[in-house]
Amino acid sequence: MSQGTRTRPAAFTGPLLYGGDHNPEQWDAATLAEDLRLLRGAHVNTLTLNVFSWSLLQRDEDTYDFSGLDRIIEQVSAAGMSIDLATSTGAVPPWLARAHPEICRVDVQGRRHLHGVRENACLSSPIYQELAPRLAGTLAARYAGLENLVLWHVSNEYWGRCYCDLCAGSFRGWLLSRYGSLDAINEAWTADFWGHRYHDLAEINPPSEISDLQEGSGVVALPGLGLDHRRFSSDLARDAFRAEKAAIRAHDPHTPVMTNLMMPFQDYDYASWAPDLDVITWDSYPRRDDPPSHTGMHHDLMRGLKGGDPFLLLEQTPSRQDITHAAKRPGQMRAQSWQAVAHGADGVMFFQMRQSAGGGEQFHGAVIGPQGDGRVEDTRVHRAVTELGAELARIGERIRGSRVQADVALLWDWEAWWAWDGICGKNPHADYLDEARHWHAELVRRGIGVDVLSPSAALDGYSLVIAPMLFLTRDEDADGIARAVRGGTRLVLTALSGVLDREGRVRQGPAPVPFRELVGVWDEEMYNLDPADRLPLVFPADGDPAPGAAAADVDPLAAGSASGDAPRGRWTAQYLRPDADTEVLARFGTGPDAEYVPGEPAVTRHPYGAGQALYVGTLPDDAALARILERALDGLGIEQHELPGGAETTLRIAADGTRFRFYLNGTREARTVPLVAPGTELLTGERADGRAGSGEQTAAAAGTGASIDLEPYGVRIVEEDTASL
Ligand code: GLA
Ligand code: ZN
C-alpha cells in the first residue's frame, strides 16, 4: 500500500547516492587524490568516511587531533563528493581499553575480553557512555557546517551483548522499570519453575553460560528471562545510538542521523529502533547462490521499518566478500544494485572503495584494487562499477523519492523470532525466518508487491495480511490485526501463532487464544513432525475452477503446484476444531503419514466483520502454500503476473503519479517475463509495448499480452505510459 509522500530530509534530493566506505587514513594524500579521480570517473558521488578512526582522532581522554580527518575531508570535498560521516565509535581504541578495562565486553561464557576486533565496547560502561557521545558531539561541532555532509553514521553495525556486572546492573534497573516490582518479574517469568523465585533484584543474572543459558540447547531456563535480556540488550544499544544522536543534534539540527543495519540479524529489534533512525540504511551480503527473493524480502523489511520511506543500500561488495568468499558472478552486482532500487532504495553504496593492504579484510572486494599504475580503470570490477554508476546517474534522479507499491503485508516480528528460538520442546526444524521467506517467495513468483511489516503497524489499508508463525503475539497487535480484518482485510494465519503472550508464557485457553474469535477454530493439540513425515493435505475440488469462474480467470496454479508435487504440511500438525460457521478449505489426508490428524481440517476460512481469516493448521510446503495463497487471493482483485523462478517485478510510484515498473532477473539464465503495461524502457530508451519489431519485446503466449526477455541478471525499468494508468 502506498502511504502517500512524506517529507524527507532536505539532504535527500538530487541523484541517488552512489559510493561507499573509504579509508583514506590508511593511505597518503597522493593515493587519495588518485582514488578520487578514479571514483569520480566511476560516477561515485558519496563517500562514507571515518568509520574506524577513534584511536587516530583521540590519543587520551583529553587530546583530540582532527588534522588527518580535516585533510581527508578537504580533499574529498574539493573533489565534489558528498560525505556520510561516521562517528568512529564502533571500535574502542587500545589505550582506552587499557586505561578502563571495564569498557571491554564480558562474553556469554563469562570471560572478560582484552582489547580486540570491533563492536567491542560494553555499552553500560560509564566511560563509553561519556566518551562516545563526546566524540560524536566534537565531530558535529567541527563538521556540521559542511555543505556536502549528507549523513551522520553513528558507530557501525551495532551488534552483540555483554554479560559484565555493569550490564547486569543496567539489566536489573531495566527490569524494574518494565515490571514495577520483583513480584511482577517472578510472575512474568514463572520463576517458581526450577526454584527460581527471586527475593532481591540483585539475585537476577543475565542468562549466560555460567548462569541460566543451558549449554548446547541455547535455551534459557526461564524463557521470559531470555526474552527480556534480548529486549534489554536491544534497548541498551539503541540508547547508545540515541546518546550519540543527541550529541550530534546539539550542533547539527538537520542532517539525517542513522546507523547501518543488517539482515538477517537477530540481536536487536530494529522495529523498535526505527523511530530513532532518520533514514533506514542497511548492508546486504547475500551468498552468491542465495535465492534473489531472500534479498528482496530483506529490502521489503527494511523499507517497512519506516512506513515505506525510501532507504539506502549502504554496503554491498562490488565483487567478493570475506565471509562468504565466493565472487559475484558477472552481472550479478548490477542486478543486485537495481534490485535494491526496485525495492525502494535511494542509494547504492559499496564496502569498499579501496582494498586495504593489511588488516583482517585485506582481500575483501573493492572498487579500487591493488593493481596500480593506471591499470585500475581497466579492471572488470572498476568497469562494472563505472557502468552501473553511469546508469544510475542517467536515470536515478527521476526515480529517487518514488515509493514502492505493495498490496500485501507480510508480518515480521523480532520478538516472535526470539521467542521461537528461545523455547525448548519445539520442532528444531521449523524456522521463523524460513517461513516468512517461503510466503514472500510465492508472492514474488506471482508478481505481487509485499510490504514486510511489524504486527504493530497499521494494517487497515491492505487487502491481504499474512502472518506466518507469529509465535509470540502481543495483545494489542492481535487486536490491531482483528480490527483490520473486521474492516475488510483478509488474513492468513499459520500454525504456531499466538501461542505465547508478551512475557513468553503459554496463553491459557483455546488456542490460538488471541485469535480465537477471528479464526473461528481452536487447536486442541500440536504434533511435532520429523523431516521424514510427509503430512498430506487434500484440497477438495483441487484443480477445478471456482463455481462460476470463467476459464480465463483460472490461474494455472490451482491445477498444480510450483513443483508439481502433492501438497503437504511440514514440521507440525494441529488438531483443529472448527466452529459451525467456519468453512474447511483443506483437510489432512489419511494413512500413516497423517496418523495424528487423519481426515481432520487443515486449512479453514472464517468470516469476520467485512473480512475473513484463513487458518493453516501446519506449515505448508511449496505446493500447499501455492494452493492456500490461491484461495487467499481469490476475489481480492490484486494484479498477478506469474513469473519464472528468480525473476521479480516491482512498482515505484513518484509523487506526480509517474510509474516505474522494474523487471529483474536475479539468475544466470535467461528469463521471459510478462510486460505489465507499455511504456518507455529507461535503460535503453526503447519502447516497451510488445509490438513486433520493437527490439527484444516479443509477443507472449496467447492472451497474455506482451513479454520481456531478460538476459542473465537482466534489468529493465519501464516508465509506464500515462495512458495506461
Ligand atoms: C560490514 C561492515 C564493514 C565491513 C564489511 C565486510 O558490513 O560494516 O565494515 O566489515 O562488513 O563485508
Ligand atoms: Zn557490559
Q: How crowded is residue 308: how many other Cβ atoms within 10 Å of its Cβ? A: 21
Give the angle 396-397-403 at the CA atoms, nearest 5°: 85
Q: How crowded is residue 358: how many other Cβ atoms within 10 Å of its Cβ? A: 7
What is the tens place of the pLDDT at every residue in 155-202?
999 999 999 999 999 999 999 999 999 999 999 999 999 999 999 999
Mean pLDDT of 119-131: 97
Higher pLDDT, 685 or 215: 685
Q: How far is the CA of 205 from the centre of ligand 2 (A)?
A: 12
The one catalytic residue in 315, 442, 503, 720 is 315
What is the rounded CA–CA span in Å between residue 34 and residue 41? 11
Q: How far is the CA of 417 from the centre of ligand 1 (A)?
A: 24
Coil vs helix vs strand at 618: strand
Which residues pair with residue 527 across a beta bridge?
573
Prediction pTM value: 0.94
Q: pLDDT band for position 541 (50/70/90)?
A: low
pLDDT of residue 9: 45
Residue of the CA atom closest to atom 10 of ligand 1: 361
> Does residue 7 register a pLDDT over 50?
no
- The reply to whether 686 belongs to the active site is no
Q: How far is the CA of 351 from the centre of ligand 1 (A)?
A: 7
6-10, 353-357, 407-411, 665-669 — which is least confidently predicted? 6-10
- The reply to whether 720 belongs to the active site is no
> Does residue 261 register a pLDDT over 50?
yes
Counting from 1 in the atom list of ligand 1, the atom nearest the Cα of 285 is: 12
What is the tens place of the pLDDT at every residue in 482-500?
999 999 999 999 999 999 9
Mean pLDDT of 407-433: 95
Higher pLDDT, 561 or 216: 216
139-148, 212-221, 501-510 — which is least confidently predicted? 212-221
Instruction: Please give the torsion angle defined by the CA atoms of residues 223, 224, 227 and 232, in that order, rounded to the nearest 10 degrees.
Output: -140
Mean pLDDT of 8-33: 85
- Counting ligand 1 atoms within 8 A of each CB, the residue from 21, 157, 312 with the most, and so the one to mutate, is 157
Q: How crowded is residue 3: how many other Cβ atoms within 10 Å of its Cβ? A: 12
356-365, 378-387, 555-564 — which is least confidently predicted? 555-564
DSSP codes, 93-148:
-HHHHHH-GGGBPB-TTSPBP-S-SSS-B-TT-HHHHHHHHHHHHHHHHHHTT-TT
pLDDT of residue 426: 86
What is the rounded CA–CA span in Å between residue 660 and residue 403? 10
End-to-end CA distance of the chain: 17
Q: What are the CA-CA distances from residue 489 to residues 459, 462, 465, 627 (Å)?
A: 8, 6, 7, 19
- Counting ligand 1 atoms within 8 A of each CB, the residue from 50, 159, 315 with the most, and so the one to mutate, is 315
pLDDT of residue 701: 35
pLDDT of residue 542: 54
Q: pLDDT band for position 12 (50/70/90)?
A: low
Higher pLDDT, 703 or 168: 168
Mean pLDDT of 451-458: 98
pLDDT of residue 373: 82
What is the tens place of the pLDDT at every residue in 56-85?
999 999 999 999 999 999 999 999 999 999
The secondary structure element, H or E, covering residue 414 is helix 414-421
Name the residue with cell 526470539: 418
Q: Which three cell numbers stand for residue 318?
A: 562490488
Given its phi and psi angles, is residue 429 left (phi above 0), alpha (psi -120 to 50 degrees) or beta?
Answer: alpha
- Counting ligand 1 atoms within 8 A of each CB, the residue from 361, 362, 363, 367 with the most, and so the one to mutate, is 361
Counting from 1 in the atom list of ligand 1, the atom nearest the Cα of 52 is: 9
Counting from 1 in the atom list of ligand 1, the atom nearest the Cα of 321 is: 12
Residue of the CA atom closest to atom 5 of ligand 1: 351
Residue of the CA atom closest to atom 7 of ligand 1: 283
Backbone angles phi, psi at 7, to 5 degrees: -80, 135
Q: Do 48 and 314 meet the contact criterion of CB atoms below 8 Å apart?
A: yes
Q: Do 646 and 291 meet the contact criterion of CB atoms below 8 Å apart?
A: yes
Q: How far is the CA of 191 from the centre of ligand 2 (A)?
A: 25
> Does residue 425 register a pLDDT over 90?
no
Kindly list the protein residues whose Cβ atom lies closer than 6 A to any atom of ligand 1: 156-157, 283, 285, 315, 321-322, 351, 361, 364
What is the rounded CA–CA span in Å between residue 721 and residue 725? 7
pLDDT of residue 216: 78
pLDDT of residue 217: 81
Residue of the CA atom closest to atom 3 of ligand 1: 351
pLDDT of residue 239: 98
Higher pLDDT, 436 or 550: 436
Query: What percentage of residues in the chain have a pLDDT greater than 70?
Result: 92
Q: How far is the CA of 105 from the centre of ligand 2 (A)?
A: 5
Reduced DSSP (H G I as helix, E B as strand, rest coil) percent helix, strand, coil of the chain, to 5: 30, 20, 45
Counting from 1 in the atom list of ligand 1, the atom nearest the Cα of 317 is: 12
Q: How far is the CA of 361 from the centre of ligand 1 (A)?
A: 9
Backbone angles phi, psi at 584, to 5 degrees: -95, 115
Q: Do 408 and 466 meet the contact criterion of CB atoms below 8 Å apart?
A: yes
> Does residue 265 register a pLDDT over 50?
yes
- The mean of the pLDDT values for the chain is 92
Q: Strand pairing of 671-674 and 706-710? A: antiparallel
Q: What are the CA-CA distances from residue 321 to residues 47, 89, 328, 351, 362 (Å)?
A: 19, 23, 9, 9, 10
Q: How crowded is residue 163: how many other Cβ atoms within 10 Å of its Cβ? A: 26
Coil vs helix vs strand at 332: helix
Query: What percentage of residues in the chain have a pLDDT greater than 90?
Result: 89
The one catalytic residue in 61, 119, 157, 630 is 157
pLDDT of residue 325: 76
Ligand that lies nearest to the alpha carbon of residue 359, given by its number in the listed order: 1
What is the tens place of the pLDDT at every residue in 301-312?
999 999 999 999
Mean pLDDT of 477-481: 98
> Does residue 3 register a pLDDT over 60?
no
Higher pLDDT, 557 or 466: 466
Mean pLDDT of 140-164: 98
